[in-house]
């Protein structure tokens, strides 16, 4: 079944057609909470990508090993407790990432705060483990993790850019409009996050409705 | 008396001022997913209040009586998520036995709560902000219950608004989730007005 897949096709699917934030509406909490600036958004996106790739690979390997070394009946039983198993694997990787960020990027870790441990309950990761990694081979699970992770990072960076430009008049810390510009601070606060994601999501839906009409 | 004041302050802060959904962005998936009608919203809200209060108590005990004595505090994420998953399962089983009527109404929402980030969020928030204070157990319990109440309040408000939005004339591409987010933005703006209270 994995013969028909191509690497670019899988990546394209993760980044564009099944984009986790705008397409599947998964992982909403971090995409709103950590997008006050591009830097935070990319930091969060890459941390999630790292956990996603690691957990996809591990779960794919685990499922294959279990299939190989257990008979059918035992495998059926393991299937029943697969969700707790997946969560433990994910939680271990999140703990690792938490320490890496605390050790090497203390400022970023402080900004993201609560949302690093909350990668555990990000539905993208458990969702991909359940839907993809437990059914496909190790290499494609890696590619799927990479594609989905990049898609997530991209959407976060887009939201972060919009909110940073409108909310503080800067991009990546560089001032864009000069000192006379009065930024709309509301965009870096909570309401701005909801407003931005609502309109961006509406915009993407509009584009895809036009495209489907043409075809 | 001073303790009572600080407990009250924690409660008001977590219900209204720093509302979990509208200020901290926790638990957005069920917030958008279950807010289509107000009955479901009440069911989900009740279940979340209950599980959050229980989680606050249980994770406090696990951290202070299990992780601290063995010096394995760094395992807190794994310990907390397992505790929550087990707790939700336990609550589901007890409820099924003791009050089938309540189980019927909450049944489908209970499993969803395990992956509600607000629940793990309140456990970690308790650990970061309250552990080590005096009376920390009671404060955690208050923060947990308050967070649940705040979530239920926001969910109920949203559900009643969305019931009316069904009838409104909205652009085709904004229907459904996008308009829910824009509504949430206005609600968040209203809740921002409480920020001067504390």
pLDDT at A1 over 50: no
Q: What is the pLDDT of residue B106?
A: 67
Tokens 């956990």 found at = A51
Cβ neighbours of A26 in B, within 8 Å: 29
pLDDT band at B147 (very low <50, low <70, confident <90, very high): very high
Other beta carbons less than 10 A from residue A103's beta carbon? 9
Contact between A146 and A11 (Cβ < 8 Å): yes
- Average pLDDT in the A167-183 region? 77
Q: What is the pLDDT of residue A215?
A: 67
The beta strand positions in chain A, using DSSP E, are: 170-171, 174-175
- Average pLDDT in the B155-162 region? 92
pLDDT band at A2 (very low <50, low <70, confident <90, very high): very low
pLDDT at A122 over 90: no
Question: Where do runs of H (alpha helix) occur along A70-137?
Answer: 72-80, 82-104, 106-112, 123-128
Separation CA A22–CA A195 (nearest Å): 14
Cβ neighbours of B185 in A, within 8 Å: 191-195, 198
Q: What is the pLDDT of residues B29-48, one digit of tens each?
A: 888 877 887 887 888 888 88
Mutation to test the A interface, candidates B20, B23, B117, B188, most A Cβ within 10 Å: B117
Q: How many CB pairs under 8 A join A and B?
A: 114
Q: What is the pLDDT of residue A158?
A: 92
Q: What is the pLDDT of residue A61?
A: 92
| Span between the terminal Cα atoms of chain A, in Å | 28
Give the predicted TM-score (pTM) of the model.
Answer: 0.86
pLDDT at A74 over 70: yes
Contact between B88 and B110 (Cβ < 8 Å): yes
pLDDT at B82 over 60: yes
Domain-by-domain residue ranges, chain B?
Answer: 11-196
**Contact at CB, B179 and A33, closer than 8 angstroms:** no
Tokens 């456990």 found at = B123
Cβ neighbours of B74 in A, within 8 Å: 95, 99
Other beta carbons less than 10 A from residue A58's beta carbon? 19
- CA dihedral A169→A174→A176→A177, nearest 10 degrees, is 70
The ipTM assigned to this model is 0.84
- DSSP three-state, residue A175: strand
Mean pLDDT, rounded, of chain A: 86
Q: Which of A28, A99, A192 has its CB closest to that of B28?
A: A28
- Average pLDDT in the B63-83 region? 90
What is the percent of chain A where pLDDT is above 70?
98
Tokens of B97: 């036995």
Alpha-carbon torsion A181, A185, A188, A192, what sign? negative
Q: What is the pLDDT of residue A157?
A: 92
Q: Name the minimum distance, in Å, from the CA of B189 to any CA of chain A.
A: 5
Contact between A155 and A163 (Cβ < 8 Å): no
């Amino acid at each position: 079944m994995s013969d028909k897949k191509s690497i670019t096709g899988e990546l394209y699917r993760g980044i564009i057609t099944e984009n986790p934030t705008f397409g599947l509406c998964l992982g909403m909490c971090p995409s709103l909470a950590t997008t006050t600036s591009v830097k935070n958004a990319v930091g969060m996106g890459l941390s999630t990508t790292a956990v996603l790739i690691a957990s996809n690979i591990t779960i794919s390997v685990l499922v294959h090993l279990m299939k190989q070394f257990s008979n059918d009946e035992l495998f059926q039983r393991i299937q029943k407790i697969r969700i707790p198993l997946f969560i433990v694997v994910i939680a271990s990787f999140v703990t690792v990432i938490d320490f890496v960020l605390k050790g090497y990027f203390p400022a970023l870790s402080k900004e993201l705060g609560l949302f690093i441990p909350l990668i555990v309950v990000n539905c993208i990761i458990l969702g991909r483990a359940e839907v993809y990694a437990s059914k496909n081979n190790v290499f494609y699970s890696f590619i799927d993790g990479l594609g989905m992770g990049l898609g997530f990072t991209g959407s976060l960076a887009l939201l972060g850019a919009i909110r940073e430009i409108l909310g503080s008049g800067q991009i990546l810390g560089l001032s864009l409009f000069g000192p006379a510009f009065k930024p709309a601070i509301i965009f870096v606060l909570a309401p701005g996050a909801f407003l931005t994601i609502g309109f961006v999501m509406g915009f993407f839906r509009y584009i895809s409705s036009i495209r489907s009409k043409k075809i | 008396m001073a303790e009572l004041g600080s407990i009250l302050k924690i409660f008001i802060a977590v219900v209204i001022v720093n509302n979990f959904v509208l200020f901290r962005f926790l638990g957005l998936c069920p917030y958008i997913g279950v807010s289509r009608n107000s009955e479901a919203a009440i069911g989900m809200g009740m279940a979340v209040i209950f599980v959050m209060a229980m989680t606050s108590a249980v994770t406090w005990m696990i951290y202070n009586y299990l992780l601290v004595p063995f010096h394995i505090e760094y395992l807190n994420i794994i310990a907390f998520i397992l505790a929550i998953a087990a707790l939700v399962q336990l609550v589901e089983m007890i409820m099924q036995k003791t009050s089938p009527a309540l189980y019927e109404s909450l049944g489908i929402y209970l499993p969803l709560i395990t992956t509600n980030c607000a629940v793990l969020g309140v456990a970690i928030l308790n650990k970061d902000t309250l552990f080590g204070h005096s009376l920390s157990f009671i404060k955690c319990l208050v923060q947990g219950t308050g967070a649940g109440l705040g979530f239920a309040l926001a969910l109920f408000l949203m559900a009643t608004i969305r019931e009316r939005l069904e009838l409104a004339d909205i652009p085709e591409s904004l229907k459904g989730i996008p308009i829910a987010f824009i509504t949430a933005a206005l609600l968040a703006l209203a809740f921002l007005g409480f920020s001067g209270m504390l």
